[in-house]
Amino acid sequence: MAGTAFPVTLLFADGVSQRIAVPCGGKLIEAAQEAGLNLLTDCSNGQCGTCTAQLVSGSVDLDDYDSAVLTDADRASGTVLPCVCRASGPCAIELPYDSSEAMSEEPAPVVAQVTAVEQVASETVRLEVQLPEAVAFEPGQYVRITPAGADFHRSYSMANVPGTDRLQFFIRLVPGGAFSEWLAGAKPGDAVELSAPHGTFFLRQEDRPRLFVAGGTGVAPFLSMLRAMADQPTAQRTTFLIGARTPGHLFALDELRQLGEKLQGMELQVAVEQDADAGCHAGYATDLIPQLGLDPSTRVYLCGPPPMVEAGRRAAAAAGLPAADVLCERFA
């Protein structure tokens, strides 16, 4: 098959389709890039799930990936990770975002200045940065942050509302992690580079009940969503389940309760794995899903470590909700 190239059709959420040629055994992402299409990726090696897409016909080979991000059952039902896809025949792949996102040039990164670094809970730091001008994004999206002079970047979800020139992040300190080690020594005045906002895990403007489930610092994008929702409260029902390892790992709870009061229909439940206080569920946040009696029209948002997201997807499926109504962001 040397020299063979297979036609691969990319189907975007806005109905646009693009046909590209991918050499036999060649990487889909690279062929797409050569054709002027920047498919959405983050880790680029099958660890985060950001690129998740659906194979609707034909076949592809996948390089190594994390099975917590793409389970065998999902793989069998056609879910693929384009960042690790290699062409093994003609195929069509459905991507959950508009063609404009893939066709637009990545804007140059902006330089921002750290204005605050504060430990707010066990292993969790609030980082604030000042940008030269206000930035537009959808509540729930993320940026890639590169510390000045570093040769790596990591992705973090904005916790603030869009349209301001100061961004807020909640970041878990991971032992031995490159960004975590930089953050442990970061101080106001330090410079960082920020990419443009990205991501398909953002608040959908629709009139249906919402279930938010967050693990650890997975609360961050929901803070952005809830702060934006509180600016224009509706009677829409929102349930928010938060999971943490211990009570000391919880953060922003007072503000979340205040937001819940503004959003009259919001129900907040907390689960901790160890040392649960009265009023907290002892265990995982996803344990609580079966007891909610979810309306079949509920839109589910899951954000946190891959095993939590997987447990949430299984619980939503067991509650009868279609997989297409479940949005996921994995903090791998």
Ligand X SMILES: Cc1cc2nc3c(=O)[nH]c(=O)nc-3n(C[C@H](O)[C@H](O)[C@H](O)COP(=O)(O)OP(=O)(O)OC[C@H]3O[C@@H](n4cnc5c(N)ncnc54)[C@H](O)[C@@H]3O)c2cc1C
Q: Residue 141 CB, nearest distance to ligand X (Å)?
A: 9
CB crowding 157-171: b at 16 or more within 10 Å, else e: bbbbbbeeeebbbbb
Point out which span in 1-9, 35-43, 54-62, 186-194 binds ligand FES (CB under 6 A): 35-43
Q: 175-234: which residues touch ligand X (CB under 6 A)?
A: 175-180, 199, 217, 220
Min separation Cβ 137 and ligand X, Å:
13
CA distance 63 to 28: 11
**Pattern of binders to ligand X over 105-144, x per CB under 6 A?**
-------------------------------------x--
Indicate the residue among 178 and 230 with the shorter CB distance to ligand FES.
178
Q: Within 42-81, which residues bind ligand FES (CB under 6 A)?
A: 42-44, 46-51, 69, 81
CB 96 within 8 A of CB 13: yes
Q: How far is CA 247 from CA 184, 253, 288, 289, in A?
A: 22, 11, 17, 20
Smallest distance from the beta carbon of 145 to ligand X, in angstroms?
Answer: 9
Decide if residue 154 touches ligand X (CB under 6 A). Answer: yes
Exposed (0-12), middle (13-18) or buried (19+): which is 18, by Cβ within 10 Å?
middle
**Distance in angstroms (rounded) separating the CA atoms of residues 140 and 39:** 19
Burial (CB count within 10 angstroms: exposed 0-12, middle 13-18, buried 19+), residue 223? buried
169 binds ligand X (CB under 6 A): yes
Going across the sheet that includes 124-135, the strands are: 154-157, 142-147, 191-194, 110-121, 124-135, 164-172
131 or 332, CB closer to ligand X? 332
> Shortest gap between Cβ of 139 and ligand X (angstroms)?
13
Among 29, 37, 39, 50, binds ligand X (CB under 6 A): 50
- Tell whether residue 155 is a contact of ligand X (CB under 6 A): yes
* Least separation in angstroms between CB 251 and ligand X: 11
The SS3 assignment for 151 reads coil
Alpha carbon separation from 332 to 10, 34, 134, 150, 307 (Å, rounded): 26, 28, 28, 20, 10
Residues in the chain: 332
- Spatial CA neighbour of 10 closest among 113, 139, 97: 97
Q: Which one of ligand FES, ligand X, none is in contact with 157 (Cβ closer than 5 to 8 A by kind)? A: ligand X
Nearer to ligand FES, 18 or 45 (CB): 45
| Closest distance of CB 280 from ligand FES, Å | 32
Tokens of 303: 């954000």
179 binds, among ligand X, ligand FES, none (CB under 5 to 8 A by kind): ligand X
Residues that bind ligand X in the complex, under the rule CB under 6 A? 42, 48, 50, 142, 154-157, 169-172, 174-180, 199, 217, 220, 329, 331-332
Residues that bind ligand FES in the complex, under the rule CB under 6 A? 41-44, 46-51, 69, 81, 83
